[in-house]
A = this chain, B = another copy of it.
Amino acid sequence: MRKFDQYLAIVNDAIGKIKEHYPMQPERLYHPVYYTMSLGGKRLRPVLMLMACEAVGGKAGDALMPAVGLELFHNFTLLHDDLMDRADVRRGRATVWRRWNENVAILSGDAMLTMATQYIARASEKVLAPVMELYNKTAMEIYEGQQWDMDFEDRNDVKVEEYLEMIRLKTSVLLGCACKMGAIVGGASQAVAADFYRMGVNVGLAFQLQDDVLDVWGDPATFGKEIGGDIMNNKKTFLLISAMNLATGNDAEQLRYWLEKEDADPALKIPAVRGIYEKLGLREMSEQYIATYSNHALETLNAMRIDSDAAQAFNDLIVKLIKRDR
C-alpha cells in the first residue's frame, strides 16, 4: 500500500497528460479545460479511488483512467457552478467564465463532462457496466444537490435535515462514488463496494461540515480562502440554517439585521454573526456532527475485511481530512 503522496504523484502525472489525448483546437473549447485542470486541488477523489482499488487487492493502474475521469467530472461541476454562482475566483485564479466568457464556460464545461465520461469508459470491459451506472447515478445526484442549493437561496425555512441531504447529494456522494468505483475496479464484492461507498459518503459529510466551520473559525494564515466569505454572502450553510432555526429574541433580530443589511462592513458583520453562532453553541454542535460522521466512516472502515496496511492508510487520511485547517 502506497502513501497518499505517492498516489497523488501518479494522479497528477496522468492529469498532466490529458492534453496529449485531445486537440489544441478550437482553442476556446479545449484551453479552458487544460487551464482548469492546471489549477491544482487536493485530488482527493482520484487518490481515494486508487487507494480503494489497491485496498481490495486490485492494481492502481487499472483504476487510473477512471480516477482521472472523476477528477475531470469534479472540475466540470466546479466550472459550471462558478458560472451559475457568478464566482470570480477559483483556487486563486480567474474562473473560466470570467477569464473567457459565459458561452466558453458553458461549452468547455460540456466538453469536460464528456471527457470525464471518456476517461471513465476506459475502465476494463468486465466492470464497465457497473462503473458507468455508478458514475451516471452519482452525476444525477450531484445536479440534484446543486439545484436544491440554488433553490434554498430563495427560501428562509430550510430545515437542517434538508441541508444535510443537499450536501450529501452535492458533495458527499462523489467521495462515496470514488471509493466504491475503486473497489469495483479492484474486483471487490458488491458488499465490500457498498461499504466503501458508505465510508466515502460519511467522510464527505464530515468534510463539508468542516468546510462550513473553517469559513467561520479557520485561521486566516492557513485557510486558503478569506475567512467569513459564507457569512458575507449569506450562504445557507449548516451554521446559518441552524441559527435561523434556533435563534430567538434579540439574537434572531440581530441575525435578521445582518442578513438584510446591504454593503455591510465585513469587520462588523463577520464577528457579529460569528458571535451569534457561538452563543447558540453551533460550533460545538457542528463538531458533534463532524465527529458522528467521521466515526461512522471509521466504524465502517474497521468492519471491512481489507488488509491492515490499507485500513491504516484510510484511517490516517480520514483523520487528517477531519482535523485539517484548510
A binding-site residues for B, Cβ under 8 Å: 22-23, 26, 28-29, 80, 83-84, 102-103, 106-107, 109-111, 113-115, 117-118, 121, 125, 128-129, 132-133, 136-137, 139-140, 143-144, 146-148, 150-151
CB distance from A184 to the nearest CB of B (A): 14
Point out the residue from B29, B102, B128, B144 that lies within 8 Å of A125, measured CB to CB.
B128
Point out the residue from B83, B102, B136 that lies within 8 Å of A114, measured CB to CB.
B136
B140 touches A115 (CB 8 A): yes
CB distance from A48 to the nearest CB of B (A): 21
Point out the residue from B132, B136, B151 that lies within 8 Å of A28, measured CB to CB.
B151
Can you spell out 7 A-B residue pairs with CB atoms less than 8 angstroms apart? A28-B147, A29-B143, A84-B103, A113-B113, A114-B139, A114-B140, A118-B140
Say how many copies of this protein the assembly contains. Answer: 2
**A114 proximity list for chain B (CB < 8 A):** 113, 136, 139-140, 143
Main secondary structure of the interface of A (DSSP, over half): helix
Other A-B contacts than A23-B144, A114-B140, 17 sampled, CB-CB below 8 A, are A26-B148, A28-B150, A28-B151, A29-B143, A29-B147, A83-B106, A84-B106, A107-B150, A109-B110, A110-B110, A110-B143, A111-B143, A118-B133, A118-B137, A121-B129, A128-B128, A128-B132
B111 touches A121 (CB 8 A): no
A107 touches B140 (CB 8 A): no
Bound complex: CA of A107 vs CA of B79, how far in Å?
12
B115 touches A117 (CB 8 A): no
Bound complex: CA of A294 vs CA of B286, how far in Å?
66
A110 touches B147 (CB 8 A): no
B110 touches A80 (CB 8 A): yes
Which B residue's beta carbon lies closest to that of A84? Answer: B103
**A109 proximity list for chain B (CB < 8 A):** 110
B132 touches A121 (CB 8 A): yes
CB distance from A108 to the nearest CB of B (A): 8
**A118 proximity list for chain B (CB < 8 A):** 133, 136-137, 140
**A151 proximity list for chain B (CB < 8 A):** 26, 28
A144 touches B113 (CB 8 A): no
**A22 proximity list for chain B (CB < 8 A):** 140
B143 touches A121 (CB 8 A): no
**A29 proximity list for chain B (CB < 8 A):** 143-144, 147
**A117 proximity list for chain B (CB < 8 A):** 117, 132, 136
A106 touches B106 (CB 8 A): yes
